[in-house]
Structure 1
Amino acid sequence: MDLGLAGKLAIVTGATANIGRAIALELAREGATTVLVGRDHEAGERLADHCVQQGAPQAPFVAADLTDVAAPERILAAAEALGPVDVLINTVGGNVAQGFFADSDPATWMADIDLNFGTVLRMTHAVLPGMIARKSGAVVNVGSTAALVGDYQLSVYSAAKGAVHSFTAVLAKELGQHGIRVNAIAPYATIAQDPAAFSTGSRFHPDSGLFSHGAASVAEEDRAIRQRRTYVGRPFANPDEMAGMVAFLAGDRASFITGQIYPIDGGALL
């Protein structure tokens, strides 16, 4: 299906791993010039080559950490050297720790909030003046099913993703008069099968130890509370299943859709 993305210029943050990587490749297959943003330079250069092979006219990689407040303007400058930005995909996110809120600390709260919400605010704020001036654009944010139900032992992460969802709805109201659409997806647990999909900055990279450390301290009661099932014959989503919806929302075929948050959860929230 032609989604109307050919010839457009898109920025994809968090592009070097998992969902972000799949989105970048999906946009490339649709013929979009794709500006790739991530922290892992080696993974970024590999992805850039792959995107061009898949059909992107150009796919420059910008090494940047979105928690750096100066990063968005540098990313925007690199993108606008190729043309006006038509699409922004805010994919950066993750949890910096997991555990009970009572045992947490303010530094961890702020890190979770900034990684999941602050990065979205800063990058979106950077691209909006150009989109408003051209009366055209699409923003797609990556939220989480955690924002809809609250993931156990991920209190601040869940709240920050909830902020992403609310921000999506309000921004759609504000920007509709300027011809700009804003939507979001809410992914369930999504894990790539390809080891190349995990850059060094990814929380899923074996060296991060985030999930193995948490698993070692999970009590049986905690496991029971976390228990959830899908209805599609497997427990996890594939990143490509997120990328297809994002590409659709970013393209012209979704021109009458704005302010929506789409759970992609395999029925887990039923």
Structure 2
Amino acid sequence: MNKKAMAAAVSMILAGGAHAAQQERPNVIVIIADDMGYSDISPFGGEIPTPNLQAMAEQGMRMSQYYTSPMSAPARSMLLTGNSNQQAGMGGMWWYDSTIGKEGYELRLTDRVTTMAERFKDAGYNTLMAGKWHLGFVPGATPKDRGFNHAFAFMGGGTSHFNDAIPLGTVEAFHTYYTRDGERVSLPDDFYSSEAYARQMNSWIKATPKEQPVFAWLAFTAPHDPCRRRTSGLSASKASMSRVTPRSIASASPA
């Protein structure tokens, strides 16, 4: 999708409420669940209840014909820009001898593409981002550089969901650090990724002037490995998951 097509697509989103009230512009929230299967949530047939997502799906729009990459960074680059991941600069997940220096494998968002955040910002939206970025950490490719007014961002690809955020070697090698509006931040002792992302996003939305619409990019690291969660509320989750029994799994068709 080129820049003109992106502009047209965003214009259609912005005009979505025109039939109800010409002056209203809808708030837009994009929620990303990292490495989640298509039918893992109840709006798409999942057996484990996800009532809040179910309510959002019923009140919003469900898109079931979107084709994307099966990998993390390439997939989010496609969703954020409306382009192929190579055009966006995310042709892969790591630097290899065969791809270093080749167009499409910069492993950061390039100036060949425009992001939704940039278009919404141009339209007067308060553009907000919380969660996993994984689209570049150099100047020109950070959330602040790519259209977000505010961003609480995990810059890397995968990490602990708690405050021990050094999973794969050194911090610098794998960029397992957090920034808030471009500045590195430390994590509190009670940090848990999903709660922290949602709390920060809620805070920014509430602080937005009532007359200004919001574009929110909420990129959870869950259910990306390592699969860890708080122990509180675990019994309720187990009760829901117990409906997916070993027998039902064993009888599933291998096809």
Note whether the superposition's TM-score is higher than 0.5.
no
TM-score by length of 2: 0.38
Structure number with larger C-alpha Rg: 2
Higher helix fraction (1 or 2): 1
